[in-house]
Chains A and B, each alone.
Chain A
Amino acid sequence: MPLSLPEVKRVAWLARIEITDAEAEAVQGHLNGIFKLIEQMLSVDTEGVAPMAHGQDLAQRLREDRVTEIDQHALYQSIAPQVEGGLYLVPKVIE
């Protein structure tokens, strides 16, 4: 089922990736080739098969409810594009 150009643009919007019309057209061709490959699996009968999320069927490990991390915000924020007073700065969201 080929993706239309508006669908490609919508997916790029969902993924928060800016895309030009020319890029969308090039990407459309590639994505449709890939989906043709993927669609080989659609005709397989998987009735009653339990989905497998990862390689080891294990229960989620729980940990003790205690603090294990130390405050390292200064270190971690030293590599941020823009910070002030321990806060990450982004363009104004609310007028």
Chain B
Amino acid sequence: MLNATLKQLSLQLAQKKFSSAELTQFHLDRIARLNPELNAFVTVDAARSLAQARAADAQIAAGKAQPLTGIPVAHKDIFCAKGWLTTCGSKMLANFVSPYDAHVVERLNAAGAVILGRTNMDEFAMGSSSETCFWGPVRNPWDRARVPGGSSGGSAAAVAARMAPAAIGTDTGGSIRQPSALSGICGLKPTYGVVSRYGMIAFASSLDQGGPMAKSAEDLALMLNVMAGFDARDSTSLERPDEDYTRLLDAPPTGDRAKPLSGLRIGVPKEYFGAGLGSDVGAAVEAALAQFEKLGAKRVAISLPNSALSVPAYYVIAPAEASSNLSRFDGVRYGYRAPEYTDLPDMYRKSRAQGFGAEVKRRILIGTYVLSHGYYDAYYLKAQKIRRLIAQDFVDAYEQCDLIMGPTSPSVAFGLGSMSSDPVQMYLNDIYTVSANLAGLPAMSIPCGFGEGNLPVGLQVVGNYFAEARMLQAAHRYQLATDWHLRQPAGVE
């Protein structure tokens, strides 16, 4: 059960080698053993998970199994799930039991997947290290003195330590890809609008996108098949025909069988290999690119000239949207209310001061400032124009290539506490990931080797709009030829 793919687990469930209840219990036992040290899960409710597993077993017995029926999936604590504590890593929502399901949760439930528990995360998804959690930091299974990345660090650590076969996360500026890279797993942020944001606690609505995190590209494809779909309750959800994201995985390669990726043009942006990139990460990424060439892909040198502006533009746009989204937390309708106050404005101010952590407050203040009178044009409007330039860079690049590849993160996992006193240094971790969110493009990270401290390195694959199936195919072919994605941390057997 430990290292099986989702397809293998599904087959074994169908063959009655074990039941979903047994599979779920197996993972609950692993959580009980490993989580006290890793802190990847913040809520586990064995009775609830096992009830769902037994219902899945009944579906399987009745011959009504779908591909994910009976598979336990860890949920980032940002997805509202009816009856589950949904805290978003914040004291503000420490007592929030969701009265409804997110669209993604509805879809996973309808597919028969089991909610294995709720994973830890940076508060309101604001962070790149999973250290700003109200519930304490998550530790990296590869080295417990290091961070797992963030904000979906709990989901990444859960999959890396094999506490969950797969997980779901969200990505506003890299929050699926960067923890996937730092924890040695695979993660995909779909094209903006492919996965509904309904019931996903909002951080920056024009950038937020939910997606799968798992051990392989094939598993990601199976998860995305369930997660993607139109939802009228999200005004930016896209009405598109259903897509089978696994459809290209097993397609017989045309022509030379040793070169299944022949014809694929991989754009390598020179801006992603400059100063700031760790030489260990650079070497692993170069080796991966060489492997793709061996598989028949052609390497094309490209330029994304406005890359350096992506972090500055992101740290205007994301906080601006966050300051607006988080204004709903006022101590009136749900969430934290300060115990003592003098009048209504004082209740708002004290509830928000006590309920939010330092990083969330910082971002609310940045957002409030850039949207305030006299600064809107200089900052917010300017950032939106820069956003256009960044998106146009990709439009131009995709004239010359099919996929873009480079590093996911400039370094391997860094030490706990090593960056938490310097927000700017922490923000620069997002240098390679935020532009895909600004442009709305799909992007993923897959393991591609090891760097300093024998820690995992992630390769980022960015596709054109709706190129998920093509990205997953390329990643799958790479994973058939290499075994980086099969490596697992020591001490979690």
Which residues of A are at the interface with B, using a C-beta cutoff of 8 A? 3, 7-8, 11-12, 14-19, 27, 30-31, 33-42, 44, 46, 49-56, 58, 60-61, 63, 72, 75-82, 88, 90-93
Q: Are B341 and A91 in contact (CB under 8 A)?
A: yes
Q: Is B481 an interface residue (CB 8 A)?
A: no
Tally of contacts, chain A with chain B, CB under 8 A:
168
Residue of A nearest to B326 (CB): A15
B-side contacts of A17, CB under 8 Å: 349, 352-353, 356, 361, 364-365
Q: Is the interface of A mostly helix, strand, loop or mixed?
A: loop
Q: Are B312 and A46 in contact (CB under 8 A)?
A: no
B-side contacts of A42, CB under 8 Å: 378, 382
Q: Output the residue of A14, A37, A54, A72 with the most chain B CB within 10 A.
A: A54
Residue of B nearest to A26 (CB): B358
Q: How large is the interface on B (under 10, 10 to 19, 20 to 34, 35 or more residues)?
A: 35 or more
- Shortest distance from the beta carbon of A70 to any chain B beta carbon, whole Å: 12
CA A41 – CA B447 in complex, angstroms?
33
Interface segment among B144-152, B331-339, B467-475: the answer is B331-339
CA A56 – CA B378 in complex, angstroms?
24
CA A44 – CA B306 in complex, angstroms?
10
CA A38 – CA B312 in complex, angstroms?
4
| Besides A81-B335, A91-B341, 12 new A-B residue pairs in contact (Cβ under 8 A), listed by A number | A16-B345, A39-B312, A40-B309, A46-B386, A50-B388, A53-B206, A55-B440, A61-B235, A78-B99, A80-B333, A80-B334, A90-B347
CA A44 – CA B325 in complex, angstroms?
29
Q: Is B486 an interface residue (CB 8 A)?
A: no
CA A91 – CA B306 in complex, angstroms?
50
Of the A-B pairs whose beta carbons lie under 8 Å apart in the complex, a sample of 7, sorted by A's number, is: A14-B372, A17-B356, A40-B309, A41-B382, A41-B386, A52-B391, A55-B192
Q: Is B57 an interface residue (CB 8 A)?
A: no
- Shortest distance from the beta carbon of A17 to any chain B beta carbon, whole Å: 5
Q: Is B273 an interface residue (CB 8 A)?
A: no
CA A55 – CA B369 in complex, angstroms?
24
- Shortest distance from the beta carbon of A26 to any chain B beta carbon, whole Å: 9
CA A48 – CA B43 in complex, angstroms?
50
Query: Which 9 residue pairs of A and B lie closest in terms of their CB atoms, listed nearest first?
Result: A55-B440, A54-B206, A51-B384, A55-B192, A46-B385, A18-B353, A18-B349, A52-B388, A81-B337
Partner of B385, one of A15, A49, A58: A49
Residue of B nearest to A24 (CB): B365
CA A28 – CA B385 in complex, angstroms?
27
Residue of A nearest to B356 (CB): A17
